[in-house]
Every structure is written in structure tokens, then in C-alpha cells.
Amino acid sequence: MTSLFSRLLVAATLVGAVAATAPADDAHRVAVFDAAVKDLAQPPSAFDMYILAQSWQPAFCAGKEQQFPGCRAPQSFWRSHLTLHGLWPELSGSAPPSFCSGEAFDAAKIERELGIDTLHQFWPDVKFSEASPQYADFWKHEWTRHGTCSGLRQVEYFTHAVNLERNETLAPTPQLVQDHVGGQVDVQKLRAAFGDAALKCQRAHGKHATLFSQVFTCWEKDEHNVPTQRRACPPHIHSEDSCGKAGSVTIPAFD
């Protein structure tokens, strides 16, 4: 029987290989990495906070307008609001927990309890049509990699994540962003609008422009591991920031 040490060594090798080729953010990890690490799943461990990762879908669709169904026909909500990427258990000063149990994702239950239209609006995967059986793969990935480490049941985990996303008081899309869709904003004003957060930007395809694409905010949790209120993000989260300290950032719009 393969030893735990050998399994860890194999997983570590895969982690290194993936890290060398995959994007820095968690958006679309290589499937083989997910499959390899699942076998090392451990029970949910203690964690310090949550990261709420929100995406600006027009940035993801930039240059892919005809490639993905959701980019060709976006919902009106996505044109002016951030959407969910994920709710991630996080540690203050070390690698976050991941793949903490082998509990299978129950797509039918999540869609029934939260409502499929709610999930499509607030937690979309623009790569697939809403009728595609692959649409739920994004939610499955988020549950398997992150949700299993939250100590919450599946319905609770998805409910709390969606409730944060849809709460315009707790986690709003700043008015500055909504007022400048398709235009540019000063990056310092954008930072002020979000408060303590890590902003993610990307280069426009074939253009000399910096596109706002994601934001990471940090959240306290209560004794039941329910996210409660914003908190300061630790340095390693701020190190994920890629929007620069000066100049302008484009808030991209759907074509």
C-alpha cells in the first residue's frame, strides 16, 4: 500500500507543476490537480477567516465574447454587479485549507434549496449555457476545494455565500464601479471605494489597458463558522493585488 509520505510527495510535485502553469487566482484550476489532491482529503480544520472572492464578468469575457454562452448573452445583473467566485476558508499566515473531506457535491439539492435562477444570477459560470449539465461543475469545484473546509453543511455554505453576494449593504458593488462601466477610474479611488481589499486586474487582449477583474475581501466568522463582518486582510492576501498603485483602471463592459 502506498505510504502517506509517498502520496504527499506526489501531490506536492503536482502542486508545483500546476503552480508553474496555472493563473495566480483560483478561477480555473487544472482538473488533474483537483483529482490528485482529493485523495489526501482531511477533516475540516480550524481556520481564521473567509475570503469572499467576487468577479467582474465583463473582464472574464473580454476577448471571449463569442467563445462562451454567458459572454454572448449575459444577464443584465452581470453588466453592473460583481458576482461570486467563491467563499474560501483562510488562515492568517499560512497556506489555506483545501479538499478537507470527500463529501460529494449534491447539485440537485443545492439547486432546489437555493433556486437555480438565484445561482445563475449570483454565482454564474459563463462558460456554459444554463441548460448544460456542466454548468454545476464550477459550484462542485468550489464546494470540493473550499466548502468542505468550512465546517458548514452544503446548503449552509452555499446559502451564506449567496447571502453575502446579494447583500448590497455588506458586500456591495461600489457605485463608482457601476457609474463607470465601459470607462476608466483612478485606481486610488477604486481602492477607496472597496476599502481594505485585494484588487485583481488583467491586461486587455491586444490593448494597452488594465482591466478590473476581481476583488478579494476578508471576513470574520462566528463560532459556527458563519461569515459575519468585514475585517482587515492579512499581508499575504494583499500580495495577490495586481492593479497597481497609480494610474487608471478600466471597468470593462460587455459588448
- What single-letter DSSP state applies at residue 105? P
Q: Which amino acid is at 253?
A: A
Burial class (CB in 10 A: 0-12, 13-18, 19+), 138: buried
- Residue 153 CA, distance from chain mean position: 19
pLDDT digits (tens, 9 = 90+) for 113-141: 999 999 999 999 999 999 999 999 999 99
* Closest-CA residue to 142 (of 34, 239, 240): 34
% the chain with pLDDT above 70: 82
- Compute the distance between CA of residue 129 and CA of residue 191 in angstroms, rounded to an integer: 34
Do 227 and 150 touch, CB atoms closer than 8 A? no
Rounded to an integer, the average pLDDT of 224-245 is 96
Beta strands in the chain (DSSP E): 49-55, 83-90, 184-186, 198-203, 210-221, 227-231, 248-250
DSSP bridge partners of 217: 52
Does the pLDDT of residue 82 top 90, yes or no?
yes
pTM for the whole structure: 0.83
The residue length of the chain stands at 255
> Residue 77: how many CB atoms within 10 A of its CB?
16
Q: Which H helix or E strand runs over 34?
A: helix 31-38
- CB neighbour list of residue 232: distance below 8 Å, 6 or more residues apart: 196, 218
pLDDT digits (tens, 9 = 90+) for 59-74: 999 988 889 999 999 9
Average pLDDT, the chain: 86
- Compute the distance between CA of residue 118 and CA of residue 122 in angstroms, rounded to an integer: 6
* Domains annotated on the chain, with CATH: 49-250 (3.90.730.10)
Bridge-based pairing state of the strands 49-55 and 210-221? antiparallel
pLDDT digits (tens, 9 = 90+) for 150-204: 999 999 999 999 999 999 999 999 999 999 999 999 999 999 999 999 999 998 8
In three-state secondary structure terms, 202 is: strand
- Compute the distance between CA of residue 154 and CA of residue 137 in angstroms, rounded to an integer: 15
pLDDT, position 205: 73
pLDDT, position 33: 43
